[in-house]
Amino acid sequence: MATSVSRKKSTKVKTTPYDIAEHLRTPEEMAAYLDAWLEEAPDDAAGIARALGDIARAKGMSLVAREAGLSRESLYRALSAEGNPSFATVLRVARALGVRFHAQPA
Model confidence at 2: pLDDT above 70: no
Phi/psi at 70 (5° precision):
-120, 160
The pLDDT tens digits for 47-94 are 999 999 999 999 999 999 999 999 999 999 999 888 899 999 999 999
Residue 101, pLDDT score:
87
Helix segments in 12-86, DSSP class H: 27-40, 45-59, 61-68, 72-78
Model confidence at 8: pLDDT above 70: no
pTM of this prediction exceeds 0.85: no
Work out the burial of residue 88: count CB atoms within 10 Å of its CB; fewer than 13 is exposed, 13-18 middle, 19 or more buried.
exposed
Band (11; pLDDT cuts 50, 70, 90): confident
Query: Cα separation of 19 and 49, whole Å?
Result: 16
